[in-house]
Structure 1
């Protein structure tokens, strides 16, 4: 895709890809971006909800729905892929929450968040370019879709 592509998602990806040319940095992102995404979901899952008004994980579900709307509007195939990703991450997070409780889930989410972000910054140090989100926070949403689009291309799927 090039920067003059018609769809906004293609322009986002072209710009994002410009900051992620190094293969090592790309590999780090393929590992760390999903880890960060999951850790944010898990952190939101741990935010207390009013008793009886919402179920545990309600804040995470609201955030996932909002992000899903962004992805779906940008590209339906990516939107469906991100929906599947959110469902799987939600089920996994719920399982961890039920199995280990909110405190252990919180500690695990914080640890994954910190380690994955360290990985991201190491990747950008190798790349020699600053992270895209430092120029526009929207790139925090673009990263997961970019990783999914890499998978789609590998599978020969259109997005």
Structure 2
């Protein structure tokens, strides 16, 4: 019998999902992970907009290597997030990013408390980049898009 080999992205997402099974934790992550992603871009934007764009480009290269289909979703998400930063008054980006960052991480830890498992990135920092793919995966599954 032939064994099906999983793509690296599938293995990463399955491992990430192991600590994200509680329905409330999943909802929290679907809200907080994009918020954290936006705030990190906002923190980099506060240094200089090109720093935020560079972080996006490097992340998108990694996402493309994992899955060209997920890359497209992340490209759209990143573009929207950068556009929001572009239209905000520059004086508001840093305080807004820090505030949302703190609130979103509190949400994340509440979710993991409910889950009873520690965040995946405690094992491997790479999972900080997998979190947004996990959230995007919900949308892909809903609309039956393969990864």
Scaled by the length of structure 1, the TM-score of the pair is 0.88
Map of 2:75 onto structure 1: 83
Which segments of 5 or more consecutive residues in structure 2 lack a partner in the other structure? none
**1:138: how far off?**
0.2
Partner of 1:51: none
Alpha-carbon separation, structure 2, partners of 1:17 and 1:5 = 19
Aligned mates of 2:57, 2:132 — CA distance in 1: 15
Deviation of residue 150 (structure 1)? 1.0
Among 153, 156, 159, which residue is 2:141 paired with? 153
Q: 1:20·1:127 contact (CA, 8 Å) conserved in 2? A: yes
Q: Note the 1:120-135 alignment, pairs <5 A.
A: 120-135=108-123
| Closer, same or farther: CA 134–82 of 1 in aligned 2, 3 Å | same
2:126 to 118, 129, 138: 138
Counterparts of 2:126 and 2:93, CA distance in 1: 27
Helix, strand or coil at the partner of 1:156: coil
Match of 2:12 in 1: 12
Q: Distance in 2 between matches of 1:109 and 1:42?
A: 6
Residue 85 of structure 2 corresponds to 93
Given the alignment of the two structures, is residue 66 of structure 1 paired with residue 58 of structure 2, yes or no?
A: yes
- Distance change (3 Å), C-alpha of 1:47 and 1:151: same
Using CA pairs below 8 Å that are at least 6 residues apart, which structure has the higher relative contact order? 2
CA distance in 2: counterparts of 1:155 and 1:118, whole angstroms: 30
- Separation in 1, partners of 2:78, 2:5: 28
Matched ranges for 1:29-40 at <5 A? 29-40=29-40
Alpha-carbon RMSD across the aligned residues, in angstroms, is 1.0
Structure 1 residue corresponding to 2:107, chosen from 119, 126, 150: 119
Ranges in structure 1 where 5+ consecutive residues have no aligned partner: 49-56
